[in-house]
Amino acid sequence: MEEKQLLQGLQARQESAFKYLVNTYQTKVYNTVLAIVQNPEEAEDVAQEVFMEVYESIEKFRGDAKVSSWVYRIATTKALEAYRKRKTQKRWGGFLSSLFGENDEVIHHPVDFVHPGVVLENRERSTILFKAIGKLADNQKIAFTLHHVEGLSYHEITEVMQLSLSSVESLLFRAKSNLRTLLKDYYAKEVN
């Protein structure tokens, strides 16, 4: 289906258009969200919410950008929201539990995230990397994920993030630099 046709179909609330959109983008959305929330059940949940948002906000989309850019934008926004929410819940969950005298229990069980698409021999290292990615600032996290997990080009990332090419380049440079620092700390502790 052509982009214009798809947009018209979506605005007319045609099920065939919406179904086509979901089938075309479900893997892209799920994969992007998964890399950010780092939990498969949550990623599925958020991915559904992304398409619900697309459906509900189609009138707002002027068609001045590609449908894919718009969908990726909603996906990254919702993924970050979910990630932040879970982090806050963990923090408060721990606080409330300590109030009720359940200090002994480890409140959140940090399950090591394994992305199913990573090459087998890299799985262990990628788990360490994803932990570090989780600690990046939002925009760096998005840019890094879109490029290294989704394989988007710098140009495509500018369309999703609505930033200039130099801004995207800067984000990716800083992301890598910060990851290096985080990994340095990690491996230094590991040795000790």
Q: Which of 97, 107, 118, 174 is the binder for other proteins (CB under 8 A)?
A: 118
Report residue 192 as tokens. Answer: 């000790």
Among 38, 82, 143, 150, binds other proteins (CB under 8 A): 150
Strands (E), the chain: none
Q: Which amino acid is at 155?
A: H
Name the segment binding other proteins (CB under 8 A); options: 37-45, 57-65, 68-76, 88-96.
37-45
From residue 180, alpha-carbon distances to 25, 72, 101 in Å are 32, 26, 39
- Give the integer Cα–Cα distance in Å for 42 and 48: 10
Q: How many CB atoms lie within 10 A of CB 148?
A: 15
Give the one residue of 22, 39, 61, 97 binding other proteins; rule: CB under 8 A. Answer: 22
Stretch that binds other proteins, among 5-13, 20-28, 96-104, 154-162 (CB under 8 A): 20-28
Shortest CA distance to 38 belongs to which of 160, 141, 143, 147?
141
78-117 burial, b at 16+ Cβ within 10 Å, e below that, comes to bbbebbeebeeeeeeebeebeeeeeeeeeeeeeeebebee
Q: Write the CB contacts of 153 (distance below 8 Å, at least 6 apart in sequence).
A: 147
Q: Which two tokens stand for residue 141?
A: 């996290």
* Stretch near other proteins under the rule CB under 8 A, chosen from 39-47, 73-81, 82-90, 159-167: 39-47
Q: Which of 7, 10, 37, 129 binds other proteins (CB under 8 A)?
A: 129
Residue 34 sits in the site that holds other proteins (CB under 8 A): yes
Contact between 128 and other proteins by CB under 8 A: the answer reads: yes
Q: Which stretch binds other proteins (CB under 8 A): 43-51, 68-76, 92-100, 156-164?
A: 43-51
> What mask of x and - would describe binding to other proteins in positions 44 to 83, judged by CB under 8 A?
x--xx--xx--x----------------------------
Which residues form the interface with other proteins (CB under 8 A)? 19, 22-23, 26-28, 30-31, 34, 40, 43-44, 47-48, 51-52, 55, 115-119, 122, 125-126, 128-129, 148-150, 176, 179-180, 183-184, 187-188, 191
